[in-house]
Structure 1
Amino acid sequence: MKPTETADAELVALDKALYDALNPLASAMRARSTGLPKDRMWDADPVEVTLSILAAWKVVDVEVGRLAAQAARTAGSYGASYEQMGAAWGITRQGARKKWPEAIDRPSTEAKRKSSTVELFGGTAELSWSPACGGWRWSGHGADGMRGEAERASSFSTKEEAAAHAGVFLKEHAADRP
């Protein structure tokens, strides 16, 4: 996505629309805080009036942030990367990840530790996370009927490492091994 430039006429129209939306909100907030009717908002002390307008802009800012986060989550659900979101917002990939950490679903730790099966050389091995040893283990059944598992004292730091060791076992116990 290419960064887009906003034309001056578009900014003027946006400013007008924002002010048109802000005035009723600022009037209502001011009326609630002072007890004065909405039509008398401008009759108060100028500092109080401008502070009520500032408070209304804060409400708008929070709502824009919420809507931007929603747009980022939607973009992430369609496959946008943090790099793309950052480019659209004018920030870095890291900035986008920090701004919208939930925009892209990342597998949870539990999902990452889900057991799986490896099928090689006619045999199968199950890879599982062992909380007791804080690592990955494997147990398998070779095509030749032999059963095996990681040594009791062994655990592997990654699922891929456990799969590699299970693969060695399955290869050694293939049915067509000479």
Structure 2
Amino acid sequence: MAANEVTHTELTALEQSLCDALVPLATALRARASGLPEDRMWAEDPVEVSLSALAGWKVVDSAVSRLTARAARTAGSYGASYEQLGAAWGITRQGARKKWPDAVDRPSAAAERGTVELFGGTAELFLESSSGSWRWTGRGADGTDGTADGGSPCGSKEEAAAYAGAFLKEHAEGDVG
């Protein structure tokens, strides 16, 4: 049995505890809906009685959703990834990201930067927060400074690295070929 699987006995105990916890809430909801005294409110039309219980479960369902979102945010604040959240919930990484979009912190500033060192030169890659585009600035081995063309934002870190690499190759000392 996997660590996150529940035994039949555990599931039965959980369901009993949930039913026990639901009784006061369902009773309060039924009392407001029916206006009947407590000794008669459960002896009415079975459809109405069942709907009162269903309304109680809706409240429980909403509370569970809030608590699971809180647990996901807590795990994310301690460094859990969407892949880990999904595994714990039995869904994909993408499903976890959709279910709890704010659970995992955005990458740190270090992850939004990079360095390319080629042909004796260096270029720094960075994510421009205002546009969400990747840019680069560098110095070739021949001392020439360069930056990403302002009119050509890069859609990914890899694309910015490719342009920076081409610049560094163009401004290498000696014949690079």
TM above 0.5, yes or no, is yes
Residue deviations 1:112-148 (CA, integer Å, cap 9, x gap): 9x8x79697798878574979x955555678998655
Change over 3 Å in CA distance of 1:35–1:8 after alignment to 2: same
Which runs of structure 2 are paired with 1:7-26 in the superposition (5 Å)? 7-26=7-26
CA distance, structure 2, for counterparts of residue 59 and residue 136 of structure 1: 45
Which runs of structure 2 are paired with 1:87-126 in the superposition (5 Å)? 87-107=87-107
Stretches of structure 1 lacking an aligned partner (at least 5 in a row): none
Amino acid at match of 1:5: E
Amino acid at match of 2:44: A
- What is the TM-score when the length of structure 2 is the normalising length? 0.66
- What is the TM-score when the length of structure 1 is the normalising length? 0.66
Deviation, structure 1 residue 43: 2.4
Deviation, structure 1 residue 14: 1.6
Counterpart contact for 1:28–1:38, Cα < 8 Å: no
Counterpart residue number, 1:53: 53
CA distance, structure 2, for counterparts of residue 130 and residue 99 of structure 1: 25
CA distance, structure 2, for counterparts of residue 10 and residue 127 of structure 1: 51
Query: SS of 2:60's equivalent?
Result: helix
Counterpart residue number, 2:81: 81
Counterpart contact for 1:142–1:169, Cα < 8 Å: yes
* Percent of residue pairs identical: 62
Counterpart contact for 2:116–2:161, Cα < 8 Å: no
Stretches of structure 2 lacking an aligned partner (at least 5 in a row): none
Amino acid at match of 1:73: R
Q: CA RMSD in A?
A: 4.0
Residue deviations 1:24-81 (CA, integer Å, cap 9, x gap): 1011001111222334321221111111011111111111111112111212222223
Deviation, structure 1 residue 85: 2.3
Change over 3 Å in CA distance of 1:50–1:158 after alignment to 2: closer
How many equivalent pairs are there? 170
